[in-house]
Every structure is written in structure tokens, then in C-alpha cells.
Amino acid sequence: MQVAISVVLVTILLVLAGSVTAQSVRPPGDAVNLEDSTTLGPSNALGNLSDSDIWRDFRGGDPVNIDDIIRGPIEGQMMTRSGQLWREIREDYIRKYAGWFPVGVIAILALFYLIRGKMRIKGGLSGKTIARFNLNQRVAHWFMASIFILLAISGLIILLGRPVILPLLGPQANAIMTSAAMQGHNLFGPLFVVALLWMFIKFIRGNFFQIVDFKWIFKLGGMFGGHVSSRQFNFGEKTWFWMVILIGLVMSATGIALEFPWLFEDLRILQASTILHAVGAIALISVSIGHIYIGTIGMEGSLDSMLKGEVDENWAKEHHDLWYEEVTGKSATEVTKEESGS
Amino acid sequence: MSYIEFVEGPLFLIAATIFVLGALWRVIGIIRIGRKKDISPPKGSEAIGFIRGNLRHFLPRGIFARRTWVHIVGGYGFHLGLLALILFAAPHIVFIDARLFAVPWPPLPRWGFIIAADIAFAGLIVLWVRRISDPVMRLISDWDDHIGSWLTFLVMFTGCLALQESHVFLRATHMLFVDIWLIYFPFSRLMHAFTFFLSRGNTGATYGRKGMSL
């Protein structure tokens, strides 16, 4: 019985609601006269086309040919969708967040240094050294480092000048710094390709991944204690090497596209190049900060390998024991009579 | 007087005067010292030895060439690149035309400038990196070598940053480093640009007189 009463009440309510709704959408009086739009009120205010049709016509052929765009606007082609998407990615994501990655890495490393301190050689310096990198390898490394630093600084100024430098130093300083950075970046860009090739030739040997690298990963490189074996290069160094080579290749290809835009006809190649170039640069800069940290203040004795080409034997035993055994023919764990003091 | 007027005007005049007089003073001084009198009978020509000594040192010895190829390529790249930039860069030709004399040769096109600058920078960086990486080079290098390298780098670097020629400040900063470089030049090992032929020639003349082949 209660169910029947409920059904009847709901039906009545729905009928009433329907009639009210129907009345409320009906235009009052002659506010809209579909027959004569010129004499009575703002009829046909939305036109005969939908928004979709208007915008479809507006963007026309969606030009992507650079030559066409440079020559001037073409009839029926008023905007580029890919350009709008590129602008949004660049402004809303890259420029907004890119700078925080290097800053974040610096903050993490500072915190790590405060907690862990400098990684000392457990047995102390032995005073005996072994050769690690020859002169050509060291020159190739520092050549790349010099070019990389110049490109990183100039690139960051170009990318983050407007959101960072402009509010801090004003438009005049930003204009001068950006102009200078652009010239410097374009000039040193080709040298990066040379440096990359040189690095690849000089360091490819020993940088292929091996089974021993898995142990290194499981022990997190020994950062939180415990010994990890490795050959001349550990997993972290190998990963950094391949990051530099592979991302460097992307940076080189996109950099060439941006420096010589007339080589390409399709605007989307240049748009994609700027995005990839910026993302790759931020990745390399962020990781390079970690590389610089571990090579200088983070680990005792590591800088000598690239400055002098030699490392302390105890450093080699602790961080690259398999490599130490390979080049010296001695055991990395065996304590000699001289070391034991007897 | 504005920044640019100062560095391109009175400061440039002072720097150029110090450069010319200082370099002349050094070269004439070296020539005036002369050579120690050799009373032994000559077995060959000193003059020919002087010329041969200069020419022979442009090429590395076979046994050293392989070990020092980076140094050789870097050295030639830097010096030739720098020479091309100084003499053929379009802004330099305009500057020399306006202040010194009418330059009879045409400027480098922009792509030529970029190639010359890249080669010069690559060479300079390689030479400096070798200076700090090689144990022997590190040992025999002093502040003068490093200041000379860095000043030259800064002159080239600021010049390239001003390449767009859209901001007077960048051009003035380049000129400021040029002025400092010109003043430092005669009193440093940068003078090797003018004295290298004397030292090579001296060695060659000594060998030539003794009848030794280089």
C-alpha cells in the first residue's frame, strides 16, 4: 500500500516538474523572433554556426610549413594549433618547473652531506697511487666539462631569463643577459658535438653494463654502508656515461635543428626540438650536479683521478676493487705485511 | 663620458700605446742583448740556420707527434682561429676602418666567423685543460700563464657574446677586456707572439753554425 502511494506521489511530482520546466525555457514575449532578426531584438545572436565550426574555420589549414609562415599569413590560415600546444607546454610546464629540478638536487645533496658527511677512505690514504685515466682521457673530460658548463649557464639564462632574471634584475639586464647567452650558446653548441664524440671514443671501453652492476644497484652503491664491488666504472658512473651520450645525442640533434632552422620545412620539428632540448638539458644539468658533488666534496680522493690521472690504492680497493685486482694483479682484500705493520 | 666612450676612447688609446711601446721595448731589448760570441770556426751558415730553425719548428718531430697530437691540433687551431678572428671579423674591420686605416680585405661571412671562433675556443680550452691536467705542464705553469690564458679567453668570450651588436654594454665590456689584454700583453708570456721567431731562430742559428741539421 505504501509503495503504491509513493509511486503515485512521485508520478504527480514528475508531471508537475515537467510542466514547470517546459514553461521556464520558453522565451518571454517576442524576445527572440526567429523569422525577422533585423527588426525585433538581438535574434540569432549566436549565428548559424556552432563554436566548433567557427574555430575550425579560424585555424584553417593549420600551417606548419616554415617558409609559408615566414612569407606571411595565408588566406584561411590564421593560427597554428601545434604552436599553441608548444607554447602551453613551454610556459605552463617547462618554464614553471624546470628550474626547481637543479635546485632540488642541490637541496638533497646538501641534506645528504649534512647527514652523511664526506665519504672518507676507510683505510686512509696509503700514499701509493695507480694510474686511472691517461692524459687524453682527462683532456677529453675537462673539454666536455668546460663546454657543458658554458652551455648550461647560457641555456638556463635563455630558458629562465623571463621568469627569474626579469623580476629580479629588470628588463634591461634580462635583455642584455639573454642576448649574450644566446650568442654564447649558439657559438659553443657545435663544440658540444665534438666533445661528445671525443668522450664516447675515450670512455666507451669499460662502460658496458655487467652482472656485477646488479649487486651495486641492490646495495644502492654502498651509500648507506656495506662494500660494493665494481670494475673500472660502477653502475652509477656507467649510467651517467650513457645518459651523457644518449641525451647528448638528442641535445646535439635538436640543437642543430634550432641553430640552423632553415634546414627544416616543418615548424613542428622546431617546436618539438625546443621542448626536447629543454627537458634534456634540465636532466643533464640536474644529474651533473650529483656527478660534480661526488667527484669533489662528496668523496675523498675521487678528484685526483681526473686532475692527476692517478688514485690512491686504498681508494681503488674500496670503490673499484675488481678493477684494482685487474690492473695490479693483487688482491683487494688481502692485507700486505707492510699495511698490517708487522 | 659614457662607458663605451671611455673604453673605446682614452682607455683604448692608452692601452694601444702601452702595447706598441712595450712590445717594441721587449723585442728590441732581446735583440740588443745579442748572442754570445762564438770563436770556433763556423761549419755552416747562421742565417740559414735561423730560417731553418723557424720553419722546422712548425712541424713536430715524428717521435713526439703521436704523443702530443692533442697539443699540436689545439695549438694550431687556437692560434689560426684567433688570427682569423682578429683580422677578418666584420666588427673588427669596421673598427679598424674607422680608427686606424682602411682594411683592404673583405670580412668573414657569419658562418666563417662561427667556424673560426669555434676552432679558436676549442684550441684554447684544450691547451688550458692540458696545462692543468698534465703533471709536467702543471709544474712549469705559473700565474702568468693562467692569467694570459684567461684574459685571452675573456676577450674572445665577451667578443662573441656581443656578436648580436644589440647592446652597447656588451660591446663596451668586450672593449674593456681588450684594453686590459693590450696592457698586460707586453709584460707577460703573451709576448711569445712576437718573440717566438727569435728563440727558434737563435736555436737554429746555433745549430746552423755548428753544421748540425735540425
| Residue A215 confidence (pLDDT) | 84
Whether residue A95 contacts residue A160, with contact meaning beta carbons closer than 8 Å, is answered with yes
Nearest CA to CA, how far is B122 from chain A (Å)?
A: 7
Cβ pair B122:A143 closer than 8 A: yes
In whole angstroms, give the CA distance from residue A185 to residue B167. Answer: 17
User: Measured between beta carbons, which residues in chain A are less than 8 angstroms from residue B114?
Assistant: 186-187, 190
Residues of B with CB under 8 A from a CB of A: 70, 114, 117-118, 121-122, 125-126, 129-130, 132-135, 157, 160-164, 166-167, 169-170
Nearest CA to CA, how far is B135 from chain A (Å)?
A: 7
CB-based contact (8 Å) between A188 and chain B?
A: yes
Query: Grid coordinates representing B109?
Result: 661571412
In whole angstroms, give the CA distance from residue A22 to residue A30. Answer: 17
H and E: helices and strands count for chain A: 16, 2
In whole angstroms, give the CA distance from residue B14 to residue B143. Answer: 25
Nearest CA to CA, how far is A308 from chain B (Å)?
A: 6
Query: Grid coordinates representing A160?
Result: 629562465
H and E: helices and strands count for chain B: 11, 0
In whole angstroms, give the CA distance from residue A154 to residue A177. Answer: 9
Coil, helix or strand at residue A227: coil
| R_g (Cα) of chain B, nearest Å | 20
pTM: 0.82
| DSSP classification of residue A222 | G
| Residue A22 confidence (pLDDT) | 44
Coil, helix or strand at residue A74: strand
Biggest CA–CA distance in chain A, Å, is 114
| Domain B3-33+62-209 grouped into CATH 3.30.56.10 | no
State the amino acid at position B77 in one-letter form.
Answer: G
Backbone angles phi, psi at A254, to 5 degrees: -70, -35
Whether residue A205 contacts residue A157, with contact meaning beta carbons closer than 8 Å, is answered with no
Cβ pair B170:A179 closer than 8 A: yes
| Residue A19 confidence (pLDDT) | 45
Whether residue B84 contacts residue B108, with contact meaning beta carbons closer than 8 Å, is answered with yes
In whole angstroms, give the CA distance from residue A233 to residue A207. Answer: 6
A225-229: list long-range contacts, CB under 8 Å, 24+ apart: A227/A318, A227/A321, A229/A321, A229/A322
Query: Grid coordinates representing A89?
Result: 607546454
| Residue A60 confidence (pLDDT) | 58
Whether residue A294 contacts residue A302, with contact meaning beta carbons closer than 8 Å, is answered with yes
Whether residue A318 contacts residue A122, with contact meaning beta carbons closer than 8 Å, is answered with yes
Task: For residue range B121-166, list pLDDT tens digits in order.
Answer: 999 999 999 999 888 999 999 999 999 999 999 999 999 999 888 8
Cβ pair A139:B132 closer than 8 A: no
Cα torsion through B49, B54, B59, B63, rounded to 10: 50
Task: For residue range B94-133, list pLDDT tens digits in order.
Answer: 999 988 888 889 999 988 999 999 999 999 999 999 999 8
Query: Which residue did the predictor score with more confidence, B64 or A95?
Result: A95
Core vs surface per residue A224-252: b (16+ CB within 10 A) or e: eeeebbbbbbbbbbbbbbebbbebbebbb
Cβ pair B126:A182 closer than 8 A: no
Cβ pair A188:B134 closer than 8 A: no
- Kindly tell me the burial class for residue B89, based on how many C-beta atoms sit within 10 Å of its own C-beta (0-12, 13-18, 19 or more): buried
Query: Grid coordinates representing A108?
Result: 638533497
Residue B100 has, within 13 A of its CA and on its CB side, a CA count of: 11
Residue closest to B107 by CA, chosen among B94, B84, B92, B90:
B90
* Count of other CB atoms within 10 angstroms of residue A11: 10
Query: Grid coordinates representing A186?
Result: 649558439
CB-based contact (8 Å) between A191 and chain B?
A: yes
State the amino acid at position A284 in one-letter form.
Answer: L
**CA B169 to chain CA mean position, Å:** 26
Cβ pair B164:A179 closer than 8 A: yes
Nearest CA to CA, how far is B147 from chain A (Å)?
A: 17
| Residue B37 confidence (pLDDT) | 83
User: Measured between beta carbons, which residues in chain B are less than 8 angstroms from residue A189?
Assistant: none
Cα-based distances in Å from A229 to A6, A225, A291, B46: 78, 13, 19, 64
| DSSP classification of residue A162 | I
Closest Cα in chain A to B134? A135
Cβ pair A307:B133 closer than 8 A: yes
In whole angstroms, give the CA distance from residue B105 to residue A208. Answer: 53
| Residue A7 confidence (pLDDT) | 58
Closest Cα in chain B to A194? B122
Mean pLDDT, contiguous 10-residue spans, chain A (342 residues): 57 51 48 51 64 68 63 62 85 91 96 90 88 93 96 95 92 95 95 96 93 84 76 93 97 94 85 95 96 93 91 91 90 62 46
Cα torsion through A324, A328, A331, A336, rounded to 10: -120
Backbone angles phi, psi at A50, to 5 degrees: -80, 165
Nearest to B166 among A179, A181, A186 (CB): A179
The CATH class for the domain spanning A98-330 reads mainly alpha
Whether residue A142 contacts residue A306, with contact meaning beta carbons closer than 8 Å, is answered with yes
Query: Grid coordinates representing A267?
Result: 615548424
Cα-based distances in Å from B37 to B153, B185, B209: 41, 31, 12
In this prediction the ipTM stands at 0.87
| DSSP classification of residue A299 | B
Which helix (H) or strand (E) is A311 found in, with range?
strand A310-312
Cβ pair B133:A136 closer than 8 A: no
User: Which of B78, B119, B129, B133 to probe the A interface (max A CBs under 10 A)?
Assistant: B133
